[in-house]
Structures are given as C-alpha cells and as structure tokens.
Chain A
Amino acid sequence: NAGVMQNPRHLVRRRGQEARLRCSPMKGHSHVYWYRQLPEEGLKFMVYLQKENIIDESGMPKERFSAEFPKEGPSILRIQQVVRGDSAAYFCASSLRDTSNYGYTFGSGTRLTVV
C-alpha cells in the first residue's frame, strides 16, 4: 500500500519559469492538503482540496499559485513565474476525512529551488 507519492523530489527552475508539483494521495483518500516549508521554518498550510473542488485556499499566495485535484490523476500545485522566494519544500498530505482526528499522511515533499 503505497503512501502519499510526490514528484519530483527535487525541482530546479529559473526565475520566471513555471513549476508543477504532483501529489498522488494514498489509495482511498479523497482529501488532499498542501503545505509549504520555508528554510528553517515550520510547515504552513496552503490549500485543501477534495476531488474537483477547492475547499480552502486561504494559505495560498494570491498571485501565481494555483492548485487542482481532478477527478482522475494526481493533485497539482502550480507556481507560475517563480521567484527566488518560492524556494522551499512543498509537502502534500492526504486523509480519509476532512477532520484531523485520524492524523494526516504526508508525502516526502518536493524541494523547489529557484535559481
């Protein structure tokens, strides 16, 4: 039973390029969450999605960032026109329900470096 799969593990982009981060939740999980961890800081909530719906994107920057979780396929976090400040580790988590009572399962993250 594979856990939460994120790819790529490492991504290098030049300033102005687009970054696409993928997350496949655990089998049977329909709730996906994205968190960002800047260097030397704790994880910060970005967005919560269910299949085909964005439930809460209050932690997403207003510009350049978007997320989707289509009916088929992985969840995608997309960052357009990346800047150096976007360099961070991006973690995806999934759960069975929309509560945290059961603990989230996190992926290993995508480390984005903007050069």
Chain B
Amino acid sequence: DAKTTQPTSMDCAEGRAANLPCNHSTISGNEYVYWYRQIHSQGPQYIIHGLKNNETNEMASLIITEDRKSSTLILPHATLRDTAVYYCIAEGGSNYKLTFGKGTLLTVNP
C-alpha cells in the first residue's frame, strides 16, 4: 500500500474553495487515490476517487498530477458543515482494506 502524506490541519474561509493536498510518491500503477472525510463523531464518508484522470462529482473535484505522485481534493465552495478530517488513501482497486492515516483536519471558518 502506498503511503500518503497530508498536512495535519488547514483553515478555509466559508464560501471559498478548499484545496487539500496529498502526496503519494510511491503509488503504483494499479493503485487508486480515494478521499474520505469524517465529521466529528460520525463514520467516514466516501467523497471521490480516481486513477489518473481528474474527477468531479457533486461533492468535490480530484486533481491528480500527471506523474501521479500527488493529488489535490477541491471543495469548490466550502461551508461550515465541511469541517472534518479528510483522509487521502492510495489502494489497489482490488484491495478491500483501506489504510487510514491521520488525515487533514479542515476547519471552515465563518
């Protein structure tokens, strides 16, 4: 499993875009990048995942660099309810074990 590195914490103003970086320099060719978030006292929530192309859904966008060694999760218009710990995970598509690190605590400020 590729190790991921994320900043411990970040702040963002409400209504602005939140850009959460993740380094996964040892990612292998068959490993996807997944993002989950965990709002206080709740279970993790799946956000988005990708292999090498950029992805967008109703929650967020995922930008993966061409060499796949890093990625950025973008929340286009952060709200107070987006305050959570965000986990970046690199796992093979057939691997059912998600390896959660410490993640990034994103605090959205009014």
Contacts and interface: CB of A to CB of B under 8 A. Distances in A.
Contact of B93 (A31, A101, A106): A101
A105 B46 contact: yes
B43 interface: yes
Interface residues of B, number: 22
B103 to A, nearest CB: 7
B44 A43 contact: yes
A111 B87 CA distance: 21
Given A42-B101, A48-B96, A106-B45, 16 more contacts: A35-B98, A41-B102, A42-B87, A42-B103, A48-B97, A59-B97, A98-B96, A99-B94, A100-B32, A100-B34, A100-B93, A100-B96, A100-B98, A101-B32, A103-B49, A104-B44
Interface in B5-60: 32, 34, 41-46, 49
Interface in B53-109: 87, 91, 93-103
Contacts, number: 62
Given A104-B46, A108-B42, A45 B34 contact: no
A44 interface: yes
Interface of B is mostly: loop
A107 B43 contact: yes
A74 B97 CA distance: 21
A11 B1 CA distance: 33
B46 A109 contact: no
Given A100-B34, A101-B32, A45 B97 contact: yes
Nearest to B100: A42
A69 interface: no
A105 B34 CA distance: 13
A103 B43 CA distance: 13
A56 B95 CA distance: 11
Interface string A17-50: 0000000000000010101000001111100100
A35 B38 CA distance: 14
Given A44-B100, A45-B98, A48-B96, A100 B43 contact: no
B96 A108 contact: no
